[in-house]
Amino acid sequence: GALGDRGVRADAIDPAGLTASEVITREVVRTHARGAIDTIDSRLSGFAVSDGFSAPALNPVTILPALVPDDADKARDYLARLAAVGGFLDGVIEAQRTTVADGFAPPDFLVRIGIEYVERYLANEEGDPFRVTPAVEVEGFAAERDRLLAEVVRPAYRRYRDFLAEEVLPVSKTDSQPGISHLPGGLEKYQGLIRVHTTTDRTAQELHDTGLRMGEKLAEEYRELGTRVFGTGELAEIFDRLRNDPELRWRDGEELLEGARAAIVRAEAVAPQWFSRVPDAKCEVEPVPEADAASGTIAYYLQAAFDGSRPGTYYANTYEANSRPRFTSEGIAFHEAVPGHHFQLTFAQELTDLPLLRRIAPFNAYIEGWGLYAERLADEMGLYSDDVARFGMLAQDSMRAGRLVVDTGLHALGWSRQQAVDYLVENTPMAKMEIEAEIDRYVANPGQALSYMVGRLEIQRVRAEAEKALGDRFDIRAFHDVVLGNGILPLSTLDTVVGAWIAEASA
**Eight-state DSSP code of residue 202:** -
Cα dihedral angle (410, 415, 421, 425), rounded to 10 degrees?
Answer: -110
CB count within 10 Å of CB 104 equals: 22
CA-derived radius of gyration, the chain: 24
Q: Assign 299 to helix, strand or coil.
A: strand
Reported as a pLDDT band with limits 50, 70 and 90, residue 407 is very high
Asked if residue 84 belongs to a domain, the reply is yes
Domain ranges, residue 68: 46-173
Asked if residue 477 belongs to a domain, the reply is no
Q: Please provide the DSSP assignment of 261-296 as one string.
A: HHHHHHHHHHGGGT-S---SSPPEEEEPPHHHHTTS
Mean pLDDT over 190-198 rounds to: 97
Reported as a pLDDT band with limits 50, 70 and 90, residue 439 is very high
What is the rounded CA–CA span in Å between residue 82 and residue 67? 12
Asked if residue 184 belongs to a domain, the reply is no
Candidates 10, 499, 445, 378; CA nearest to 189 is 445
206 and 266 part of one domain? yes
| The dihedral sign for the CA sequence 234, 240, 243, 248 | negative
What is the rounded CA–CA span in Å between residue 243 and residue 323? 10
137 and 97 part of one domain? yes
User: Which alpha helices (H) appear in 199-252, and where do they start and end?
Assistant: 204-229, 235-244
pLDDT of residue 52: 73
| The dihedral sign for the CA sequence 77, 82, 86, 91 | positive
CB count within 10 Å of CB 159 equals: 14
443 and 346 part of one domain? yes
What is the rounded CA–CA span in Å between residue 359 and residue 226? 42
Structural element, H or E, at residue 336 = helix 329-336
- For the chain, percent of residues with pLDDT exceeding 70: 98
Out of 452, 471, 488, a domain closes at 452
Average pLDDT, the chain: 94
What is the rounded CA–CA span in Å between residue 323 and residue 303? 28
Reported as a pLDDT band with limits 50, 70 and 90, residue 295 is low
201 and 293 part of one domain? yes
Structural element, H or E, at residue 502 = helix 491-506
Asked if residue 17 belongs to a domain, the reply is no
Mean pLDDT over 81-86 rounds to: 98
50 vs 187, higher pLDDT: 187
pLDDT, tens digit (0-9, with 9 covering 90-100), for 48-61 = 998 877 899 999 99
Q: Assign 497 to helix, strand or coil.
A: helix
What is the rounded CA–CA span in Å between residue 13 and residue 18? 9
| The dihedral sign for the CA sequence 167, 169, 170, 176 | positive
Mean pLDDT over 171-186 rounds to: 95
297 and 388 part of one domain? yes
58 and 144 part of one domain? yes
141 and 276 part of one domain? no
332 and 378 part of one domain? yes
**Domain count across the chain:** 2
229 and 355 part of one domain? yes
Asked if residue 493 belongs to a domain, the reply is no
Given a cut of 70, whether residue 360 has pLDDT beyond it is: yes
CB count within 10 Å of CB 98 equals: 12
Given a cut of 70, whether residue 1 has pLDDT beyond it is: no
What is the rounded CA–CA span in Å between residue 263 and residue 245? 22
Angle value at C-alpha 230, between 228 and 234, nearest 5 degrees: 95
Asked if residue 420 belongs to a domain, the reply is yes
What is the rounded CA–CA span in Å between residue 180 and residue 196? 15
Reported as a pLDDT band with limits 50, 70 and 90, residue 5 is confident
pLDDT of residue 291: 65
pLDDT, tens digit (0-9, with 9 covering 90-100), for 457-474 = 999 999 999 999 999 999
127 and 221 part of one domain? no
In single-letter form, the type of residue at position 175 comes to D
| Residue 7 φ then ψ, to 5° | -65, -45
Asked if residue 470 belongs to a domain, the reply is no
81 and 229 part of one domain? no
Given a cut of 90, whether residue 10 has pLDDT beyond it is: no
pLDDT, tens digit (0-9, with 9 covering 90-100), for 85-111 = 999 999 999 999 999 999 999 999 999
161 and 198 part of one domain? no
Asked if residue 459 belongs to a domain, the reply is no
